[in-house]
């Protein structure tokens, strides 16, 4: 059972891709870690020895900001942008796209589901007598 930074890695995946399940480690970082520790990229997670798992754990904790620590720093960065009143901070506050995307169309991921706009206020249906 390989646990790194509180994340259980999937058993049947190659270690190269299994490490990417840790928040903050991508494929490039994963390859760098394994090359530094001289661990074969093709080994499955279930085939790792305890020494190898310990070495990977030590490398990740000392060299990389991952999981809770990374999430906390990201949220602090966003909060700082909001407090100083920057444009990016205002976009975060309003829940709109931050990086210059168009919002007239698209942007549904940030804006949420489309609200119906063709409803006329207090419109009554005519009933026949």
Domain of 84 in residue numbering reads as: 68-111
Each residue of 29-70: pLDDT tens digit?
999 999 999 999 999 999 999 999 999 999 999 999 999 999
Same domain for 59 and 73, yes or no, is no
Same domain for 46 and 32, yes or no, is yes
pLDDT confidence tier of residue 115, bands split at 50, 70 and 90: confident
Among 9-18, 92-101, 109-118, which is the least confidently predicted range?
Answer: 109-118
Same domain for 81 and 33, yes or no, is no
For residue 128, pLDDT over 90 is answered with no
Q: Domain for residue 105, yes or no? A: yes
Each residue of 69-107: pLDDT tens digit?
999 999 999 999 999 999 999 999 999 999 999 999 898
| DSSP secondary structure of 112-126 | -SPPP--PPTT----
* Tokens (6 digits) for 84: 């100083």
Same domain for 23 and 74, yes or no, is no
- Give the number of domains in the chain: 2
Q: What share of the chain is helix, strand, coil (3-state, %, to 5)?
A: 50, 5, 45
Characterise 6 by phi-psi region: left (phi > 0), alpha (psi -120 to 50), beta (else).
left
Q: Which residues does residue 14 pair with via DSSP β-bridges, in sequence order?
A: 44
Q: Domain for residue 128, yes or no? A: no
Q: What is the pLDDT of residue 114?
A: 87
Same domain for 43 and 13, yes or no, is yes
Q: Domain for residue 119, yes or no? A: no
pTM of the predicted model as reported, rounded to 2 decimal places: 0.75
Contact 6, 29 (CB under 8 A): no
């Amino acid at each position: 059972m390989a646990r790194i930074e509180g994340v259980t890695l999937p058993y049947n995946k190659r270690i190269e891709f299994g490490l990417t399940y840790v928040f903050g480690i991508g494929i490039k970082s994963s390859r760098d870690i394994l090359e530094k520790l001289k661990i074969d990229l093709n080994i499955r997670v279930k085939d790792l020895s305890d020494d190898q798992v310990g070495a990977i754990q030590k490398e990740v904790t000392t060299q990389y900001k991952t999981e809770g620590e990374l999430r906390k720093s990201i949220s602090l960065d966003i909060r700082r942008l909001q407090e100083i009143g920057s444009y990016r901070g205002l976009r975060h506050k309003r829940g709109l796209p931050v990086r210059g995307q168009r919002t007239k169309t698209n942007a549904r991921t940030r804006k949420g589901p489309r609200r119906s706009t063709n409803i006329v206020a207090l419109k009554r249906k005519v009933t026949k007598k």
